[in-house]
Amino acid sequence: MVLTNGRAVFALKSVRVWYKKDGAARYISHLDVNRVMTRALQHSKLPIWHTEGFNPHPFITFALPLSLGFRGVKESMDMRLLEEVPEQELISKLNQGLPRGIEVYKVTEPVMKPGKIAYGKFDIKLSSDAKTPEELFFMLRSLLAQDTIEVEKHGKKGVKLIDIKPQLGDYTLEKLEDCVQLVITLPAGSVNNVNPSLLVAALENSNNTEVYADITRLDVFDEEGKSFE
């Protein structure tokens, strides 16, 4: 603590909290995740820096919101501490106030700015009541081999038709016992973003078949392919 103009000022320590979002919690919206985390911090009694003003609350920011229904194994939230707290103590106190399906597993110092995020890696497991895994495998392989993959994208300016084929990154496609697994890299930055659900929609539209998708975001990267830290 130091004195500035006669006032006590604490040196703030920024930390990055890493957590998983799975199970029923994947249907909690990003806004509700924010609320859940805020309540957990308030109940934890940890020395968290709060915003100033008439309604002080823990100051937290998230690197990249996760789409509703998606699982996340490497999600992150930044906050500021007024003093040092042992990692395991911070993890334990936060988890005590979090619902099942959201679990903090690591705390680090921030290395990369969230604005640097450009790509995401996704695990997409696909199944269908009308098609066998083998049929789905060939349907998806055929779709990915097309020169163009046009889909409708909803934005602030309305609906527009876009070709997502040039934006598809490296991928692996595998037929499992009860589903098809596609692991793919897609643009996931604040400016350029291709949601994996667009690819699922393209598969459904091109084959007139309803498909169930279980999507997990595995990681996010910067323009150079470096994992977000």
Residue type, 222: D
Rounded CA separation 55/42 (Å): 13
Sign of the alpha-carbon dihedral angle for 186, 188, 194, 200: positive
Q: What residue type is 227 in one-letter code?
A: S
Higher pLDDT, 174 or 8: 174
pLDDT score at 11: 59
The confidence score (pLDDT) of residue 153 equals 81
pLDDT beyond 50 at 10: no
Does residue 8 carry a pLDDT above 70?
no
pLDDT confidence band for 220 (50 / 70 / 90): very high
- Residue 49 scores a pLDDT above 70: yes
DSSP conformation letters of 114-126: GGG--EEEEEEEE
* Per-residue model confidence (pLDDT) at position 77: 97
When pLDDT is cut at 50, 70 and 90, the band that residue 9 belongs to is very low
Average pLDDT, the chain: 92
Using CA atoms, how far residue 157 sits from 153, 189, 202, 226, in Å, is 10, 19, 21, 32
For 139-179, the pLDDT digits (tens) are: 999 999 999 999 988 777 788 899 999 999 999 999 999 99
* pTM assigned to the model: 0.90
pLDDT at 6: 39
Whether the per-residue pLDDT at 197 is higher than 50: the answer is: yes
DSSP 8-state symbol, 82: S
187-219 b/e (C-beta count within 10 Å ≥ 16 → b): bbbeeebbbbbbbbbbbbebbeeebebebbbee
Q: Are 207 and 201 in contact (CB under 8 A)?
A: no
pLDDT score, position 89: 96
Write out pLDDT tens, residues 76-133.
Answer: 999 999 999 999 999 999 999 999 999 999 999 999 999 999 999 999 999 999 999 9
Start-end of H helices in 45-186: 87-96, 133-145
